[in-house]
Amino acid sequence: MTRLFTRSCVFLMIGIFLISSAVVPSLEAKMINTTAYLNQEVDAARGQLVSFLARDDVRGKMTALGVSPDDAANRVAALTDQEVSELQSQIDQLPAGSGVLAVLGVVLVVLIVLELVGVTNVFNRL
């Protein structure tokens, strides 16, 4: 009985191995040259810039400033690889949000609302 169970398990494992190895596709590694790799990075950065310009808030701000979003997209497409890299690094370094004054304003509004509701006594101590 034990021998039959062992043989069944062995054949089952062999079958699972053969089926799983037939299903998994084989991978192929190739050498790529440096320029192809760098072009992929620049293309990805250019795609990020185009998606950034396609956002509704960015398009609204550009329109408010008198810049046509289509012209901006055409200019991004006309940038050299070096200009795309520089612009991408500058966008990554810019602060997100509207700055420290906006955060302080939000905190002040929250404190005023909490004071009016009676949760805190912040302004009574001042």
Three-state SS sequence of 28-87: CCCCCCHHHHHHHHHHHHHHHHHHHHHCHHHHHHHHHCCCCHHHHHHHHHHCCHHHHHHH
pLDDT score, position 24: 67
pLDDT score, position 43: 82
Domain of residue 74 covers: 63-95
The residue-averaged pLDDT of 81-110 equals: 69
The residue-averaged pLDDT of 79-84 equals: 79
52: in domain: no
24: in domain: no
Q: What percent of the chain has pLDDT over 90?
A: 0
Which residues fall within 8 angstroms of residue 121, CB to CB, at 6 or more apart?
115
pTM (2 d.p.): 0.44
107: in domain: no
Query: Residue 119 pLDDT > 60, yes or no?
Result: yes
Distance CA 64, CA 38 (A): 36
71: in domain: yes
49: in domain: no
pLDDT score, position 56: 85
Structural domains counted in the chain: 1
Distance CA 81, CA 83 (A): 5
